[in-house]
Structure 1
């Protein structure tokens, strides 16, 4: 199964402009950009035919080539990462494209391996979910109380096909459940077949996708299944860089503070 990893990156983020080029303290006195950290994480995935940075921005392209990445330039009309991946892989002879978003440098390699393995069962699209520990749940709730849009949560059926994704914390939890929250953090990584990507490009943005700002909802709004692949943290802390306030959270992890 020929698989490539594509890291879509845009400069003009509404919540955090220039986010891919933000540098983080690595805990050893050095700093690396978010896009470089994500690209290096992708290098640890075995059996992948290629890793590409897909962008429409010359600054990101130049920085990526400087640390050795292969860059695919895409149009500035791509509205989200899935559209950018679809454009980047068009014409490639592949079986699976993995979208590793450039704001998740803490993504462990086994998250991607589990996702790729799930695609071997004939799944058209899949994405990882991670059961929240109390600290991650507290981070979600802190963001919501502060009015910040942080991570995304997911709910799914018995077959582990997604029912919904939201930037709200779902499901609702009574107080007694908060010590061991049955909430699943959606990990911003996707795997698709070329056919699924081609179908996505033919659909217009739906109202749920527009309201939530979540590209994967376009699949659900068009009756397309999204398989949720549960992954284990194995002692690692996972958090995306969604807002400037997330920088110290991630740097604390890199310094080994938690």
Structure 2
């Protein structure tokens, strides 16, 4: 019996980038890249399974050809967390912890995913998610990117204990006297990586409740937890080498391929 489950939600019907999981980056599909990360993380963590949760037969067939277990979920499910919950309910016994590894984040290191599992095993957080602090050059690039794709990239405001205070598609916090702040090489902005870990009780609560007002405004499902008083802890991680907030537009694919050309391909065996 496995204690934990990594779920990769994968929808075909992305508004901005239809068929996104099957699109290729430097010769390998997004789904291939993400499932490889998930399997490596599960091996590192131990006692952990991997499934793809989808509502599309094309994605299901492709995932099975990759050798990945597939769970078909209802098309009406409106978030990755809801798909993760639906996938968890199909297991022979409910997992204790569920990792929601977004299918459009191909450059998250396997060690980071395994580390999130370890963090949930070692503390009593309801939800855990990784963040990294931006230096000024990364922040400038994020600002420039948002001119073309304003809802790509999520920032986090966090307490000194690592507890998340808020997440936003806007760049938070607002900064007075930025010129003086730039004397410090690290900006005060934390960026969120599209990866969540839940205790099963928190995920079951999420699936049973309606979307909350700020969640709907921002399009960020983690705000449902914050608006309702659950504790979301953030795990500080190093800035990823291939720094992309997610693949949401054709420009993001071009940017990802450029990063691979400059920095190398993190896919094993590439």
Q: Same fold (TM over 0.5)?
A: yes
Match in the other structure for 1:154? 156
Q: Secondary structure at the match of 1:50?
A: strand
Match in the other structure for 2:87? 88
Deviation at 1:113, TM superposition (A): 2.3
1:236 pairs with 238, 241, 244, which one?
241
2:168 pairs with 150, 166, 177, which one?
166
Match in the other structure for 1:127? 129
**1:71-127 superposed Cα distances (whole Å, 9 cap, x missing partner):** 111111110100000011015331111000001110012221221122121212110
Greater CA deviation, 85-94 or 162-171?
85-94
Deviation at 1:52, TM superposition (A): 0.6
Is the Cα–Cα contact under 8 Å of residues 41 and 109 in structure 1 kept in the other structure? yes
Is the Cα–Cα contact under 8 Å of residues 9 and 54 in structure 1 kept in the other structure? yes
Match in the other structure for 1:103? 104
Is the Cα–Cα contact under 8 Å of residues 154 and 184 in structure 1 kept in the other structure? yes
**1:57-76 superposed Cα distances (whole Å, 9 cap, x missing partner):** 11111111111111111111
For the residues of structure 2 that align with 1:249 and 1:148, how far apart are their CA atoms? 16
Correspondence 1:37 to 2:33: yes
Alignment of 1:155-234 (within 5 A): 155-173=157-175, 174-178=178-182, 180-233=186-239
For the residues of structure 2 that align with 1:147 and 1:104, how far apart are their CA atoms? 16
Match in the other structure for 1:145? 147
For the residues of structure 1 that align with 2:16 and 2:250, how far apart are their CA atoms? 9
For the residues of structure 2 that align with 1:147 and 1:176, how far apart are their CA atoms? 28
For the residues of structure 2 that align with 1:12 and 1:135, how far apart are their CA atoms? 34
Q: Determine which structure has the larger helix proportion and give its number.
A: 2
Q: Could you say if the C-alpha distance between residues 130 and 62 of structure 1 is closer, same or farther in structure 2, counting changes exceeding 3 Å?
A: same
Is the Cα–Cα contact under 8 Å of residues 133 and 186 in structure 2 kept in the other structure? no
For the residues of structure 2 that align with 1:211 and 1:21, how far apart are their CA atoms? 28
Is the Cα–Cα contact under 8 Å of residues 150 and 169 in structure 2 kept in the other structure? no
Q: Could you say if the C-alpha distance between residues 169 and 48 of structure 1 is closer, same or farther in structure 2, counting changes exceeding 3 Å?
A: farther
Q: Secondary structure at the match of 2:188?
A: coil
Greater CA deviation, 203-212 or 126-135?
126-135
TM (norm. structure 1) is 0.92
Is the Cα–Cα contact under 8 Å of residues 135 and 186 in structure 2 kept in the other structure? yes
Unaligned runs of 5+ in 1: 26-30
